[in-house]
Amino acid sequence: TRVVIHLARSMRLYDSRGPRKVHVTPTPRIGGVGIFVAMMTVTVVAMVFDRYMGNIFAELKGGLIVLFATSTFIFLMGLVDDLRGMRATVKLLVQIIAAVVVCSFGIRIDTVMELDWMGLSWLSWPVTILWILAITNAVNLIDGLDGLSAGICSATCAVIAAFSIYNGQWAMGMLMLTLLGSLVGFLFFNFNPAKIFMGDSGSMFLGFILATASVMCATKSAALVGLALPFAVLGVPIFDMLFSVIRRILERRSIFAPDRNHIHHRLLEMGLPHHLVVISMYAMTLTAGGLGLFMMVTRNAGGVVILLCVTVLLVILQPRPNFL
């Protein structure tokens, strides 16, 4: 990340002010490059020397190649957007293409319900594509304060890693721990006051890889639990995105139109300091994730329902006026 900061400054690649931005000083915006390179380098090296680690990547090697290829595609799209700009509709189209490729290789949500028995197996395609698009854009939209998106994604990585290792999915656990390490290294430079932003190259890459990884976990375990955990830990950005879309539709504006009515903007308007807003959202994320892991270990039959209800409450009960 430090190298990327120097590179961005030398090339004058600074983030510009905008409707969703709160920073006042020019800040490099291609931090996603550091996250991507660190994560991919460590993972590829680990896969090369996999035979010395008990061949833990053997079972998922095909799926990981698909994951790496499509997430790299998303990263490059985000990087182009950071450097030159890209229309929102074009970005959405690229995301859909990547999600369709993922589905075509069998990485789909098809075990949440007995879809084959019901004759509705075709629903796994739109459901999976919608899941990937939702998480990708939710992470992108929450990237509005120093350290916010990186911290929430770090918590998500930790939860998915714990879930994977608990269920014997060592390859996915290692992948998530590698991504977690990349994010922690980035957070040293991204926490307020940030020396670099992750940009779309970082936020969309993170959202896409977390969404796809959670689907891969779900296909190897109880799917509802496998998806409920990342849904819970990402509950804040998911509901923020949902309410943003509803708000813009009600106001008859484009759903892609930026504004300053996201959760973190509202909390700032209430007078909370920047770092307290971020820490409070970390707390909500960790609470939901911790509750999910606890229920996974205790195997509480009604745990998933309770977990989703608590996630909703964590968002709705925030002390902010004019929720929509």
Give CA–CA dist 276/268, Å, rounded: 9
Q: What are the boundaries of each domain within the chain?
A: 2-223
Give CA–CA dist 312/265, Å, rounded: 19
What is the pLDDT averaged over residues 130-141? Answer: 94
Given a contact cutoff of 8 angstroms between Cβ atoms, the answer to whether 204 and 72 are in contact is no
Instruction: Name the nearest CA neighbour of 289 among 209, 214, 215, 203.
Output: 214
Q: Which of 112-116, 255-259, 269-273 has the lowest mean pLDDT?
A: 112-116
What is the pLDDT averaged over residues 272-299? Answer: 82
Which residues, listed in sequence order, are joined to residue 28 by a DSSP beta bridge? 14
How far CA 55 is from CA of 51, 61, 73, 253, in Å, comes to 5, 10, 27, 52
Task: Please identify which residue in the block is written with the tokens 């977690």.
Answer: 180
- Return contacts of 301-306, CB within 8 angstroms, 24+ apart: 303/225, 304/224, 304/225, 304/228
pLDDT number for residue 321 = 40
pLDDT number for residue 311 = 58
pTM over 0.75: yes
Q: What percent of the chain has pLDDT over 70?
A: 81
**Rounded to the nearest 10 degrees, how much is the dihedral formed by the CA atoms of 103, 107, 110, 111?**
-170
Which residues, listed in sequence order, are joined to residue 43 by a DSSP beta bridge? none
- What are the b/e assignments for 172-184, b being 16+ CB within 10 Å? bbbbbbbbbebbe
- Integer-rounded Cα radius of gyration of the chain: 19
pLDDT number for residue 54 = 73
Q: Convert the pLDDT of each residue in 33-45 to its tens digit.
A: 999 999 999 999 9
